[in-house]
Amino acid sequence: MKALHFGAGNIGRGFIGKLLAESDAEVTFADANTQLVDQLNHSQEYHVRVVGDTQHTDVIRHIAAVQANSDDVISQIVKADIITTAVGPQVLAKIAATIAKGLQLRFEQGNHTPVNIIACENMVRGTSQLKQAVLAELPQQYHDLLEQYVGFVDSAVDRIVPPAAANDEDPLAVTVESFSEWIVDKNQFKGDIPPVQGMELTDNLLAYVERKLFTLNTGHIVTAYLGKLAGYKTIREAIADEAIQNTVRQAMQQSGEVLVNRYGFDRQLHHAYIEKILTRFANPYLVDEIDRVGRQPLRKLGAEDRLVKPLLGTLEYGLPNDALLKGIAAALHYRNADDPQAVELQGWIEQEGVEAALLRATGLKADEPCVATIVAEYQRMAQ
Ligand SMILES: NC(=O)C1=CN([C@@H]2O[C@H](COP(=O)(O)OP(=O)(O)OC[C@H]3O[C@@H](n4cnc5c(N)ncnc54)[C@H](O)[C@@H]3O)[C@@H](O)[C@H]2O)C=CC1
Ligand SMILES: O=P(O)(O)OC[C@H]1O[C@](O)(CO)[C@@H](O)[C@@H]1O
């Protein structure tokens, strides 16, 4: 099995590339970072340190890398059996043109074996969005072939992999938590489902995507933004603060009630899932910076993302949401001079006021009563 993976970063090396290589795929990473590509090609292996209740290091061998946007990556697309990505939601659309070029050449060369593409990003149905971007780049005459031979498979991906600390001796090493979950929509494959160990199949993907987004991601972001306000640097420090932990737990329980209502989740089991996530945030072996988890606040405040989407669910079902509202208010306080979205958000607040900025970022309507509550909470937090 030939696998091409876009994005040799934390999740690429620490999770998806690792699973593919451990399933005996010939793994080629495609990345925009020339130094990283050179290092991967030079060593052809890297270390993954798995940390949790126990620790061990896996060596991922026989891997190669190509420069994204090069002729080499096009040749890889021509012969790949599976193509995966972990590049970040904002980059996904940028690789669509490359994928379209590669697929066009694949069809022109008469390769009609199925290929499956799976975007492993924190997005709801990110692969389906990638498909639309690829179709927009692919000449119309190839669209039927794409529908016939290319599977665009949506997925949910869950493993905490913070950026590794700089290590000149072992620059490719990544540290990952022992928990991992990669769930894909089994109905979207073309041809045989690739035999990847650790890739779980479901025919109810949206429930899993929302379970992860509304729990791990919601809890994480509330921890990050409340932690930042309290002056902490890492997720572990923030979640050790009892007041923060209580609000984070409550926020996850409130978004969890949406899942219980929408998908019939068992409440007790879901509460156990929440408690497990709290222990993951407290993992003493992971140094996960608040600014990594809090990055790109405008994306995270979006209507389809981890704060507002569950909030809209609580409004739909008439459920409590005060902890989620606190999380949104804390997001509006997020400051990080190195994060262009954080700078932009603070600019909106300065120029237009907090309510206008909130409406612009979230798409909430001004007459929605929770808007006034968020603004009042924001003012309270400012004191
Ligand atoms: N790190 C984590 O714990 C998790 C991350 N995710 C998701 O995985 C995705 C990747 O996240 P990370 O691995 O943390 O980010 P990262 O920044 O470590 O890795 C992204 C990689 O993509 C590369 N890249 C950028 N532009 C590219 C292009 N045009 N073509 C090819 N490669 C390009 C970068 O050079 C980098 O190596 C994101 O969508 C994130 O939300 C999902 C679950 C867990
Ligand atoms: O990667 P994003 O979408 O910026 O958000 C950070 C989130 O991604 C993760 O790294 C992986 O799910 C979480 O740890 C965190 O909630």
Domain boundaries, the chain: 2-203, 207-382
Q: Counting atoms of ligand 1 from 1, which one is nearest the CA of 160?
A: 3
Q: What span, in angstroms and rounded, lies between the C-alpha atoms of 217 and 231?
A: 21
Distance 220 CA to ligand 2 centre (A): 8
* pTM of structure: 0.91
Closest atom of ligand 2 to 212 CA is 12
**Is residue 91 classed as helix, strand or coil in its secondary structure?**
helix
Architecture of the 207-382 domain: Orthogonal Bundle (1.10)
Helix, strand, coil shares of the chain, percent, nearest 5, are 55, 15, 30
What separation in Å is there between the alpha carbon of 91 and the centre of ligand 1? 9
Cβ of 160 less than 6 Å from ligand 2: yes
Q: Fold for 2-203, please state it.
A: Rossmann fold (3.40.50)
Least distant ligand from the CA of 16: 1
pLDDT at 144: 98
pLDDT in the model for residue 233: 98
Q: How far is the CA of 90 from the centre of ligand 1 (A)?
A: 10
Q: State how beta strands 82-85 and 2-6 pair.
A: parallel
pLDDT tens, position by position, for the chain (383 residues)?
A: 999 999 999 999 999 999 999 999 999 999 999 999 999 999 999 999 999 989 999 999 999 999 998 999 999 999 999 999 999 999 999 999 999 999 999 999 999 999 999 999 988 899 999 999 999 999 999 999 999 999 999 999 999 999 887 777 899 999 999 999 999 999 999 999 999 999 999 999 999 999 999 999 999 999 999 999 999 999 999 999 999 999 999 999 999 999 999 999 999 999 999 999 999 999 999 999 999 999 999 999 999 999 999 999 999 999 999 999 999 999 999 999 999 999 999 999 999 999 999 999 999 999 999 999 999 999 999 98
pLDDT at res. 167: 79
The alpha carbon of residue 42 and the mean position of all alpha carbons in its chain are separated, in whole angstroms, by: 29
What's the pLDDT at 122? 85
Res 332: pLDDT: 98
Q: Annotated binding site for NAD(+), which residues? A: 3-14
* Identical fold, 2-203 and 207-382: no
Rounded CA separation 82/108 (Å): 19
Q: Is 171 in the pocket of ligand 1 (CB under 6 A)?
A: no
Report which residue type is found at 180.
Answer: S
ipTM over 0.90: yes
Ligand 1 pocket test, pick from 13, 31, 99 with the greatest ligand atom count within 8 Å of Cβ, gives 31
